[in-house]
Amino acid sequence: MASALGDRVAGKPQDCISPGMTDGPQIIDTRTLVYRQGGRLYRNDLVAECPSLAPLTTVIVEMRGNQLCRNDQFRVLTPGNSIPSQFCRLGKFIPYTRSTGG
């Protein structure tokens, strides 16, 4: 996790982020995803563990609006399989920005 966030500082958690200019998610572990928007990162701590999350898997989010939001459901597709995992749910998005110094 530290290597993904670097020297960034956490901000106030948000319920939604805009997916338009977002890269990701980067899968950290079975409970954590990271999305990137320019220089800002958003850590998402899932509502519950998603056992299928692993490197090289594909996250398929079912958005209910035009933003990625807390409680949006997603499934995971493992390479070589054609059947996605059970549903998992996104948690709040915690923004991380670079420290401006002190």
Along the 102 residues of the chain, how does pLDDT read in single tens digits?
Answer: 656 676 788 899 999 999 887 888 999 999 999 999 988 999 999 999 999 999 889 999 998 889 999 999 999 999 888 888 899 999 999 999 987 654
Tell me the two tokens of residue 55.
């490197």
Residue type, 73: Q
Task: Determine the Cα–Cα distance for residues 27 and 43; give it in Å rounded to an integer.
Answer: 10
Domain that holds residue 68: 2-98
CB count in 10 Å sphere of residue 20: 8
Domain count, the chain: 1
